[in-house]
Amino acid sequence: MTSETERASLLRKDQLERSLFEEKKLIDEGILKEDNPLDTTESFRILCEACRRGDLKVCQEKISEGVNINAKDRFDYTPLILASLCGNYETVQLLLESGALCERDTFQGERCLYNALNDRIRNLLLSYDYSKSTDPLQPLAAHLTSLLSREQPQTADIKVAGYEETFNLHKFVLAGRSPYFQKKLAVNPETTSWKMPLNLPPQSFGIVLKHIYLGEMPRDLGGGPGTGFTDSEVLAGIDRIVKQLEIPTNLSKMILDSSDRRLARQRRQDEVERGRAQLENWFRANVLERAIEIDSSKASDIKWDRNNGIFADVLLRADEEEDEGDVNGLDDQNTATKTRSNTNVLGIPLDSTQKSRSPSRTRHPRKSKVYPCHKAMLIRSEFFMTMFDSDFKEAQETPHLHIVSIDCSPAVLEVILTFLYTERTDFSLDLAVDVLFAADMLFLEKLKAKAAVVISTLGNGTATAMPTETEREDEFMDIYEILRAAWLTRVQRLEEFAARYIAYRLEAYIDDPDFAELVKESAERISARQETDSIELLDDIRYYLSERFRLRMEDVNFDEAIADAEETNVAVEHTSADSPRDCKHDTVQLTGEEKLEQLDARTLYDNGTEYRTEAEQFDSAIMQTGAVRTLDGEMAGDEMAADAINYQILLGKIDRLLDQLKLDA
């Protein structure tokens, strides 16, 4: 019944063609914006190729570089269509999580569904509706809009009085979104009230405020009988307010054209993106650039006036990681002169200096960074919401701002603040684990999920073979610590990534004592463990191990594969034994211990003649038959036989490891 309903919901071919024709017509007329513009750049070509292969690492790198994942190549394929067509489920998931479009009422969206290689990918595409796939900024916009009606905790710092209503607003939002307020508050940052003209409809100002706070435009203007104003007067009032506040948007046209769903969505996306960009510029110029770097021993002495030009109402402190050089500075801490924190007219602390008692002595004190922040944005985190909406001292108002210490490095704190203020989650792999722990501490689930994506995609988790020596040297990630971090932060995606990572490199880990300890930890995660309980880590490793060798127990008889491999090996040995091991083509055969002692290396050249040992000749003869060496050093008849043998070898090593640990799984 369900499949029949889904088939009925799919558009017919003629409906798709008509939809595509109408869409192109609206785009040519400039009414609609092209969702999938043509992109012929090299970066986009690399992204498309990575989507075909399922290379998560390259995909994540190109997405982080800002490549448009909704563009199309010269063959009219988008990255999402390529990934779904080639059956790369994880790549499809990554693209959707990164904002790839898959709308049912568009040609490209329906094309994704038709081209999906299997039902698993198709169901994933169907599960990503408009709110999840096409509006990644919705959480930020929803939070800002909620500030207009939020009563607890108190975060507003300016009151705007109208004809019949007073609005509690936030100076930093007004300054970031309106050039008029930016100039006005720059001159008088201590302003706490502002009056709008009394002859303007209050509905008009309410609609403009919703726009400033990234809210959706209402279809009902609020005018009509009993309100004192007509809809036309409300629209005229909106135009006057927009002009006074210097907002470069035609709100009246947006409201009147809201009946077209797709057009309204595109315009809203443009406005939200523009608003995010304005807030981001203000955030970087006033929060990140105004941060103070100071010795950790003096960070708690900072006095930041509540009335300041950044409109900050709380300070966040992050300490750099302590190293050996910090000890030198701490030894003479008591000999330093006391530092005074001076503030300018805006209440922003000025840089302060101190002199060492011994100028000839080099000191490296531990550094801290203090960021001026706004509670209105920090309460996106449940951690800060609880802190500021309680009886903790941080919630009490004092002449100087409270300093809240966060247990992370300044670089990680900047990632967190950037996410809270702008919804951006761009950070490198070397910060990902620290961001994961910090996001877990602050209850930021979306940022935690992003950290897991960065680790599992940039962490080379999609390799299908053992890495080369060069690749192994480039890997700096401790997979054991990654797995422990996944356990501590309860991130299933990272647990699966770690298991897959280990499974594809199991021969490098299986004999490691640290791996045995990790298996023991996984077993101990089950309280009151019984003999019949499995070990989750080993279960996952066994699954990905079978995936690695492209083998399934129900599809392949391993005993037959191994028997075939043994028969091939016997045939190879008979062939090698029957034929004389004389070396041809100017190759001189060496036998005898006295001759081997004369060789300084396994292969020598003398007057163009190659000297080889009997073992080398034997290996060469076997290799010429197509045989492959297995993990235990034996020879298998072909690659498939070697895979079957290697699979059994690794499973046997897992069983022996369990016996050593005295565990049943």
Most confident of 76-80, 114-118, 580-584: 76-80
Last residue of a domain, one of 103, 134, 165: 134
309 and 295 housed in the same domain? yes
**Residue 346, burial from CB neighbour count under 10 angstroms (0-12, 13-18, 19+):** middle
* 10 found inside a domain: yes
Over residues 15-74, the pLDDT tens digits come to 767 777 777 777 777 667 777 788 889 999 999 999 999 888 899 888 888 898 889 888
Over residues 489-514, the pLDDT tens digits come to 999 989 999 999 999 888 889 889 99
250 and 370 housed in the same domain? no
- Per-residue pLDDT band for 4 (boundaries 50, 70, 90) equals very low
* 346 found inside a domain: no
The CATH number of whichever domain residue 315 belongs to comes to: 3.30.710.10
* 553 found inside a domain: no
576 and 657 housed in the same domain? yes
| Average of per-residue pLDDT values in the chain | 77
The CATH number of whichever domain residue 89 belongs to comes to: 1.25.40.20
> Which residue in the block uniquely carries the two structure tokens 């699979």?
647
Last residue of a domain, one of 527, 548, 569: 548
Cα(191)–Cα(178) distance, rounded to whole angstroms? 16
129 and 266 housed in the same domain? no
Last residue of a domain, one of 415, 445, 475: 445
Over residues 541-582, the pLDDT tens digits come to 988 888 887 644 434 454 555 555 555 555 544 544 454 444
Q: Count up the domains in the chain and report the number.
A: 5
3-class secondary-structure state, position 628: strand
Question: Which pLDDT belongs to residue 301?
Answer: 87
- How many other CB atoms are there within 10 angstroms of residue 227's CB atom? 15
DSSP letter at 296 equals G
* 13 found inside a domain: yes
Output the six-digit token pair for 146.
Answer: 């909620």
3-class secondary-structure state, position 269: helix
Cα(519)–Cα(664) distance, rounded to whole angstroms? 12
* 314 found inside a domain: yes
Mean pLDDT of 234-250: 87
Cα(518)–Cα(661) distance, rounded to whole angstroms? 11
- Per-residue pLDDT band for 379 (boundaries 50, 70, 90) equals very high
Most confident of 231-235, 464-468, 508-512, 599-603: 508-512
500 and 611 housed in the same domain? no
In order of 549, 575, 626, the CA distances from 562 in angstroms are 14, 20, 16
- How many other CB atoms are there within 10 angstroms of residue 351's CB atom? 8
* 625 found inside a domain: yes
At 507, the amino acid letter reads: E
96 and 26 housed in the same domain? yes
Task: Name the more confident of 78 and 574.
Answer: 78
* 251 found inside a domain: yes
Helices (H) and strands (E) in the chain, counts: 32, 12
Cα(94)–Cα(96) distance, rounded to whole angstroms? 6
CB 112 within 8 A of CB 80: yes
Q: Per-residue pLDDT for 238 more than 80?
A: yes
617 and 636 housed in the same domain? yes
Q: Per-residue pLDDT for 383 more than 90?
A: yes
216 and 236 housed in the same domain? yes
* 345 found inside a domain: no
Q: Strands 314-319 and 367-373: what pairing?
A: antiparallel
Output the six-digit token pair for 352.
Answer: 């302060």
320 and 197 housed in the same domain? no
Report the share of the chain in percent with pLDDT over 90. 25
Output the six-digit token pair for 335.
Answer: 């000999």
380 and 276 housed in the same domain? no
Q: Strands 628-629 and 609-612: what pairing?
A: unpaired
Task: Name the more confident of 14 and 271.
Answer: 271
Of 149, 254, 264, the residue nearest 209 (C-alpha): 149
130 and 144 housed in the same domain? no
270 and 305 housed in the same domain? no
Owning domain of residue 505: 460-548
Output the six-digit token pair for 120.
Answer: 């698993």
Question: Which pLDDT belongs to residue 627?
Answer: 66
Least confident of 226-240, 420-434, 621-635: 621-635
Q: Per-residue pLDDT for 660 more than 90?
A: no
Question: Which pLDDT belongs to residue 584?
Answer: 41
Output the six-digit token pair for 104.
Answer: 């049912």
Least confident of 71-85, 235-249, 335-349, 448-462: 335-349
Q: Could you write out the three-class secondary structure of 312-372?
A: CCEEEEEECCCCCCHHHHHHCHHHCCCCCCCECCCCCECCCCCCCCCCCCCCCCCEEEEEE
Mean pLDDT of 368-387: 94
> Which residue in the block uniquely carries the two structure tokens 């309903």?
5
Helix (H) or strand (E) holding 161: strand 158-161
